[in-house]
Structure 1
Amino acid sequence: MGTRTRRWVLGTAALAVVAIVAAAAVVLWGPAPVAGDGDPDAGAPAGAGVVASDFLAAFARGAPAEAAVYTDAPDEAAAGLTAAIAGLADATLRAELAPLPDVPADGDRVRGTATLTWTLGAGRTWRYETAVEVRRHDGGWAVHWTPALVHPRLGEGQRLEVRSATGPAVLDGAGRPLLVWRGGAAVRAPDAPRSILLPGLARVAVERAGGAWSVVAAGADGAAARLYGSPATDAEPLRSTLDLDVQRAARAAVDGTGLPAHLVALRPSDGAVLAVAQNAAAGAAPHALTGLYPPGSTFKIATATAVLHRGLAAPDTVLPCPGTARLGTRTIPNDGEFDLGSVPLRTAFAESCNTTFARLATRLPADGLQQAATRLGLNADFTIPGATTEAGTVTAAPDPVQRLEDAIGQGRVLASPFGVALMAATVAEGAAVTPRLWRDLPTGVGTGYEPPPAPVLGQVRAMMRQVVTGGTGAALAGRGAVYGKTGTAQAAEAETHGWFAGFRDDLAFAVLVRGAGTSGPAVTATADFLDRLP
């Protein structure tokens, strides 16, 4: 008897209890029914090929109960098919039945091959062959039920499951969770405070997952045999350098300002980023890491470094600190035009005498401030996995008037809270600091730097200590050996920002409170931050 081939394209359908959708199932079937088998077009019992194709068509469109009707064990097949594909949510199936061989007149079974092609998500296709046996049953033909119809290696009580590699959890430096995986996405751990770093940490975790996936035959006892794909084992946790205690303290401190505020904390000894915080008023963009602002008198750390390095003055050199100073075409005032008369350089630094440092800057070479700032990290450039940073920008100033404005952190000098914290960390450590966010993922250094000479940094440290013991940062006294520098800077938008940059022990930090008017709120936020640390 001749061979007929029929092609069916089935419409999309879904069964509520089985999350499987068949976009199209193409079933090819072979010989016409043998004598006595009947002709499906004449209403007689369907032949073996028709039954096999009807079974596959129903299975492909996600109707296991309907498919089971074409088997020799409908109840068992319905339960088995439903369970077998319950782990393939939103998959699509294409089923192709090769032509069946001829069935002898006295034959009671025929065995064919079906090709099943599953689409299990973007870029995930799984194709294999399985045997389909059709037997005479109750006066007609029926597909012989066995779990191997779904896959040759599927056993009783097993189901197909797609398993993707779970991205690594992200931990803080002490091994406490920052990000965990839920529903295929990295989410903030319940005890972790909010941080603008978390999205970047999540991106790194997703990249580390690598996209590995597999299909397994899973049993009720939890055992699973891999049928296809790469092993989808969970990735090892990633250890960041962040410290939950420091991050909580930083977040609480900026939240308490009532103004847009940012805080960055680093560990000078190894460059570990311990906390990056900014409050809701500061917006969602990571300004703590990339926002460039006039650093105000915190930049006098660099100016003092340049002056000391070039021998223009020593910490005990007595210099005038008038309320205002006319230098070229520019009149430079002290804050509130306070007048200290003549005082040592260290006192001028502690009280933040603009007039003293502006006069000294006019004696520096055009690139004097640029070189000092570069040696403190403000012109450095890093590639940190999961974080984009910009420390600052300080260029040469051939014009003496421009130079004196730069010297007090106005003019063209710009820095981010990250950059100011890096500057403080460099002074604290006495060495170039490479910031890092991960224990095992390195930071790329695009533009590195060499620190100022150790004797110069020793003098700068002593001057920064005097800021707290008897200068503009006196509100921080009693909180350990805190070293720092206050700053007030008028920004282009006519707002006046307040700064504090400093360090205590192996902790360097910078606080910026935008629109504060003075450095007072930044000093208060710093005190709050230090008080909240363990």
Structure 2
Amino acid sequence: MRRRKLIVLVVAVAAIVGAGAFAVVAAGRVRGSAAQTAAAYFAAWRKGDVLGMERLVHRPPGDFVTRHRELSEKLHVDAITLTPGPLRSTGEESAEVPFAGVRLLTELGSWPFESTLRLAVRDQEWRVLWTPETLHPLLKDGARLELGEIDTTTAEFLTSEGARIPHDSYADAYLDPLKPEFAETHQGWQLLLKAPGQPDRPLLSRQPKANVERTTLSRAVQAAAARALDAVDDSTIVVVRPSTGEILGLADRLKEHYSAVRDVFPPGSVFKTITAAALLRAGLDPRSEVPCPGSYTVPGFRTITNDGGVDRGTVTFADAFAHSCNTTFVEQATTRLTSKDLADTAAEWGFGRPVVTGIGGSCGTVPETTDPDTFAEDAIGQGEVVTTPLCMAALAAAVQNGTWRSPRLLSKGEVRRIDGVTSDDARMDEDVVRALRDLMSAVVDHGTAADSGLPEGVAGKTGTAEVPDGPPHAWFIGYRDDLAFCVFVRHGGSGRGAAVPIAVRFLNGL
């Protein structure tokens, strides 16, 4: 009987000891693994299951769910891609998983980032040790991310072909003031990092699109005009398409805020094109023989001389034009024309017509006068006559095409909207036009622009305008095919010496 009781006691003691040992083993067991917890966290994150993520975090902050949802909402996150790297052990009960992520933002597109998911055993379980940097590495020390709007009302101008205006082509002074006429509000976006005590740091941006408007400028013509002026200060080239009036090139390097479109200058001998038109209409034939003495005195008034006092004797009127005989033009104008005749002819050839460009502009003035000395000077582009390079380009275009058209930098509809007026085309006298073409061809063939390197087919007129405040202004107007131009060099010297070489570079650069 005693033996049986002893056996029972031993069994009971053994049972108690065994149960205690099992309890000790069970108490030391860790539920799950770092890999399982990390995988579950990433899976919940991909699905947007923030509550599921929170359950895997050791002591999550009270705003854990709010932080995640607000970040996605404020940044307009459409989707997130997560690519975990290999799990790395950092201790007996700690590990980490480096991962790459890409957030797809509605306004800004893909935004990649890299971070690390840290894990550790807490309360016999593998848990995520979460910090704001887990959400994004920049979210530390109280930093936050913010998506903001960018508004702009800019406009961008293109060439007629739809290309960008050539860089440094000296057209900005005319295009920039036009931008308010075409500006429309467009919206862009910017992602900013805002850290306490630090300036905002832009991370991503999508700039607003500017409103795009095509001009009449030709990329090739504008580029060639700009390059032709590169070595010449205080100069400009205006290029017009005679058949349409479109401004193909407008390169302006004039100093002291002078404008080739709005400011007027004495034209010198290029104005003889107008005087010749008046004389032709009065009956003077290009083949008529006329005197070209070294000097000529208006009876009872002042004396006019040729450049260098050159006496050419008797020449045809065409040759007088080709060699720019001041004396011939003064004598013929003062004996065959009145000041009103000259002013009326100038008005027909642009001086009395609206210049409707879209960028403002004027043609100049040819005032009527009763003073014979002033009239004599007016006839050779001195005196009170003033004009713009723009108007002289339009004059050359009218000779080439036979129709005067207002130059324009924009479409006809936009020019009408901006300027508020229109300008009608004007057909010129065919006989006068035909004669002027011959006269301008003679200038290049054997006159003041001969042997200067101008390409075949160019016709033109040189001009040198005396001014009281410095060296003469240099001019050259001309055309070739459906392209007319004016080159002007303020205080440049002679037309042949300063303006013609620019025209040569321009035309050869096309």
**Which one of the candidate residues 235, 244, 247 is aligned to 2:219?**
244
- Aligned equivalent of 2:312: 340
Map 1:35-434; keep pairs closer than 5 Å.
73-81=62-70, 84-85=73-74, 162=149, 164=151, 167-178=154-165, 191-195=166-170, 197-211=171-185, 237-257=212-232, 259-279=233-253, 282-283=254-255, 285-311=257-283, 313-327=284-298, 328-362=300-334, 363-385=336-358, 387-434=359-406
Provide closer, same or farther for how the CA distance between residues 83 and 391 of structure 1 changes in structure 2, counting only shifts above 3 A: farther
**Offset of 1:84 from its aligned partner?**
4.8
Q: Secondary structure at the match of 2:261?
A: helix
Corresponding residue SS for 1:474: coil
3-state SS of paired residue (1:511): strand
Native 8 Å contact 1:303 1:369 kept in 2: yes
Distance 1:276 1:284, change over 3 A: farther
Compute the displacement of 1:278 (Å). 2.6
Give 1 or 2: higher helix fraction.
Answer: 2
Cα deviation code 1:161-201 (max 9, x no counterpart): 536476453210111112xxxxxxxxxxxx53332x32543
Q: Provide the C-alpha distance between the structure 2 equivalents of 1:324 and 1:298, rounded to a whole number of angstroms.
A: 20
2:407 alignment partner in structure 1: 435
Partner of 1:468: 444
CA contact (8 A) 1:84 1:159 kept: no
Compute the displacement of 1:260 (Å).
1.8
Larger Rg: 2
Shift of 1:417: 0.9
**Aligned match of 1:457 in 410, 418, 433?**
433
Quote the Cα distance in structure 2 between the aligned partners of 1:419 and 1:478: 22
Q: Does 1:526 align with 2:503?
A: yes
User: Structure 1 residue aligned with 2:455, among 456, 476, 479?
Assistant: 479
Change (3 A) 1:81 1:252: same
Secondary structure of 1:515's match?
Answer: coil
Structure 2 length-normalised TM: 0.65
- Shift in Å, 1:245: 1.5
| CA 494–307 in structure 1, closer or farther in 2 if over 3 Å, else same | same
Aligned-pair distance for 1:74?
Answer: 1.1
Residue in 1 aligned with 2:115? none
- Determine if contact 2:406/2:425 at 8 Å carries over to the other structure: no
User: Residue type of the partner of 2:239?
Assistant: A
Amino acid at match of 1:173: S
Q: What's 2:464 paired with?
A: 488
Match of 2:45 in 1: none
The one-letter amino acid of 1:384's match is T
Q: 1: CA distance between counterparts of 2:156 and 2:178?
A: 10
Distance 1:176 1:212, change over 3 A: closer
- Which residue of the partner structure matches residue 110 of structure 1? none
Q: Please give the alpha-carbon distance, in whole angstroms, between the structure 2 residues aligned to 1:374 and 1:294.
A: 17
Residues in 1 aligned to 2:325 and 2:482: alpha-carbon distance in whole angstroms = 28
1:512 maps to what in 2?
488
How far apart, CA to CA, are the structure 2 residues paired with 1:85 and 1:392?
Answer: 60
Q: Which runs of 5+ in 2 are unaligned?
A: 1-59, 77-144, 191-206
Task: Please give the alpha-carbon distance, in whole angstroms, between the structure 1 residues aligned to 2:228 and 2:320.
Answer: 29
Instruction: Describe the shift of the 1:446–1:494 C-alpha distance in structure 2 as closer, same or farther (beyond 3 A).
Output: farther
Alpha-carbon distance in 2 for matches of 1:199, 1:495 = 26
- The residue type paired with residue 319 of structure 1 is V
What secondary structure is seen at the aligned counterpart in 2 of 1:237? strand
SS at match of 2:426: coil
TM-score normalised by L of structure 1: 0.62
Deviations 1:312-362 (A, max 9, x none): x11011010000001132110000010110111000000000000001111
Q: Is the 8 A contact 2:182 2:213 kept in 1?
A: no
Q: 1:379 touches 1:394 (CA, 8 Å); kept in 2? A: no
% identical equivalent positions: 35
1:424 touches 1:509 (CA, 8 Å); kept in 2?
A: yes
